[in-house]
Amino acid sequence: MSRGRLTAAESAEAFRRLEAEMPGRTATAKGPKDQPDPFRSVVACMLSAQSRDANTALATERLFALADTPDAMLLLGEAAIARAIKPCGLYNMKARNIVRLCGDLTQRLDRNVPATREGLMALPGVGRKCADIVLSFTYGQDVIAVDTHVFRVANRLGLTEARTADETARQLERDAPGFARRDGHFWLIQFGKAVCTARRPQCETCFLADLCRWFAATRGDGEPA
């Protein structure tokens, strides 16, 4: 059953409190998985899908030790890429998409990774989540990228009411107040890691409890009211 969404005023208040309590974008924020350039950022983001952070880090380290440009990846070949990224899972599909991505970049885009959502999502293996993460972290655009933490937090609080990460992203893009768009991803992800955790959310001491639709529905005990 729907728990309802926050009003526009409540949503703005929630983001103001998040701004006050959570760190925002820092000067050292880098691309996904700390990659130093757009190409490696988008590849690392592709590898992170349905993969634990430690496995993604190992896969990216192994792959970029062998090749770190589109041309070098194409020379490496799909089979060698698959072997290198095996720790991250779904490695055959990801290797195939990486080869197709590199083909697009070298043949169609003059080796330039697009800096728009539409351009990124036109690349093989890049969905809305990956595109927004690259836009936010790598290109510094005012985008609230939706990862696992943001998806959970936004829908628990009532900032959004969506069944998928993509729909959550669309609702945040449409409804989040303007002041929250630059750092909103960072506030929400840190809140999700520190307070609104997946298994044991700290509802009783949470600074958003009085606004939170999930807390109202569960009385803070994790069970529906």
Active-site residue set? 129, 147
| d(C-alpha 210, C-alpha 199), whole Å | 20
> Dmax over Cα atoms in the chain, in whole Å?
58
Kindly give, in sequence order, each residue whose CB lies less than 8 Å from that of residue 123, ignoring residues fewer than 6 positions away: 42, 101, 104, 105, 114
The DSSP code for 69 is S
Work out the number of other CB atoms within 10 angstroms of the CB of residue 28. Answer: 6
**How far is CA 100 from each of CA 71, 111, 163, rounded to the nearest angstrom?**
12, 13, 30
Is 154 in contact with 172 (CB distance < 8 Å)? yes
Locate 55 and state its tokens.
Answer: 């496995």
Work out the number of other CB atoms within 10 angstroms of the CB of residue 140. Answer: 12
Is 85 in contact with 91 (CB distance < 8 Å)? yes
Work out the number of other CB atoms within 10 angstroms of the CB of residue 99. Answer: 21
